[in-house]
Amino acid sequence: MSLEFMTVAMFATLILAIIFGHPLAYTLAAVATLFGLIDNGFSIPMLFEMFVNNAWGLMNNYTLVAIPLFILMAQLLDRSKVSDALFEALYVVLGSIKGGLGLAVVVVCTVFAATTGIIGASVVAMGLLATPALINKGYQKELTSGIICASGTLGILIPPSIMMVIYGGLTGMKETSVGNLFAGAIFPGLLLAGLYFFYIFVRCNINPQLGPPISKEEASAYTASQKWAMTLKSMVPPLGLILAVMGTILAGVATPTEAAGLGALGSVVLAGFNKKLNWEVLRESAYATLKTTSMVMMLFIGGKFFSTVFLSMGGGDVVADLLIGSGMNRWLILGVMMGIVFIMGMFIDWAAILLITVPVFMPIAMELEFNPLWFSLLMCVNLQTSFLTPPFGYALFYFKGVAPEGYTMMHIYKGIIPFVLLQVISIALLCMFPGLVTWLPGIFFGS
């Protein structure tokens, strides 16, 4: 069989298996085993040795220890109700502005993203907390769902992010180390949050009925000093934790793995500060961390098997020759790669996309002389859309699960369209101004 046929057949088999609903991690490993055997002349010992070496390399990767630590930090913070107090404070502070409650959701989710990084927790927490408040104040259903779903996905981009840890461990390059990725993701994450903030503010000022302000009685119930006190009391603890985690990484005091340990310890302290630290919270957080870490690592192993077999049989060269040999401008090739990632995000989990595409696309980006860190952040911003794009955007189903009665999937689909467009705009802005990605890593790490 020709190399081109094997390449197409391998991807077609994977997509077909996913359509039939088979578990992704095992599907990746199974497809890798099948085509690995075909490519190696059905030599089981040779394929077994290849898989064992890859699995051992993953288990021996010190950087990946950060994954369970960051997940534990997120689980403890989710149960300590950090976001509740912050939303209540911003409800009062921003509520008198047109669209102010929507702006409050964006701010809370941005802070929450920098402390947790787990999309399900952010969307569900804000869905339960903010949706009734927004609907009761007359916010449009579509706008409400769009604000919460889009803002809730910021956690996958704003560091500390599990995606960045996996990406850094996957490439093993100095330019795309976890520290560089964390530093490079700060401005893109804030840019995206700023675009959401600007869009909500402008749209609600053009049409106040979409997001009316709270009543004057509610707005005047607190003095200016009381509002400041509420905001500082709810904002300082999570910001302190962010500073402890990100500050130690950017200052070069700690590695991302060490900072993750510090973050986990800080989340325990914060849970105690909020009087939520007890045996049940610790047990549930530890159990949820175990499940999530196991899922991520199984995906990582399956994806590593898949990419290893795919590259060893020459599939990466086929894709590279197809794109580079097409004669297209390098920016068109970049657009094709970003388009493939965007379309895959409509149907496949972000982790699988990462594990499948990065080993193939990164060498192409290097061949085209794109900055690897900049290209990596484009990929990560693009992958964030996978949580919002129908039909299988996870954030949409998380929100539907906690939405009040009367919400349909059509309300949610309509609501997220402007925010997906804003994500595409953010990718365009990063292409126009690559310094948004590269400036901070250059300051802190000289890279």
Q: 339: buried, middle or exposed (CB in 10 Å: 19+, 13-18, 0-12)?
A: exposed
Give 128's pLDDT tier (boundaries 50, 70, 90). Answer: confident
Q: Note the pLDDT of residue 447.
A: 57
Q: Note the pLDDT of residue 121.
A: 65
Distance, CA of 261 to CA of 259 (rounded, Å): 5
Where exactly are the structural domains of the chain?
3-445
Longest Cα–Cα distance in the chain: 77
Q: Note the pLDDT of residue 116.
A: 66
Structure tokens at 188: 């893109």
Position 1 pLDDT exceeds 70: no
Position 426 pLDDT exceeds 80: yes
Reported as a single tens digit per residue, the pLDDT across 333-384 is 999 999 989 988 887 778 778 888 888 899 889 988 899 999 999 999 998 8
Give 427's pLDDT tier (boundaries 50, 70, 90). Answer: very high
Distance, CA of 210 to CA of 33 (rounded, Å): 53
| 9-16 average pLDDT score | 82
Reported as a single tens digit per residue, the pLDDT across 99-112 is 888 898 898 888 87
Position 321 pLDDT exceeds 90: no
Reported as a single tens digit per residue, the pLDDT across 190-236 is 999 999 999 999 999 999 888 888 777 766 767 778 777 877 877 77
Distance, CA of 447 to CA of 377 (rounded, Å): 15
Position 293 pLDDT exceeds 60: yes
| 252-258 average pLDDT score | 81
Q: Note the pLDDT of residue 423.
A: 93
Buried b (16+ CB within 10 A) or exposed e, 344-364: bbeebbbbbbbbbbbbbbbeb
| 400-412 average pLDDT score | 81
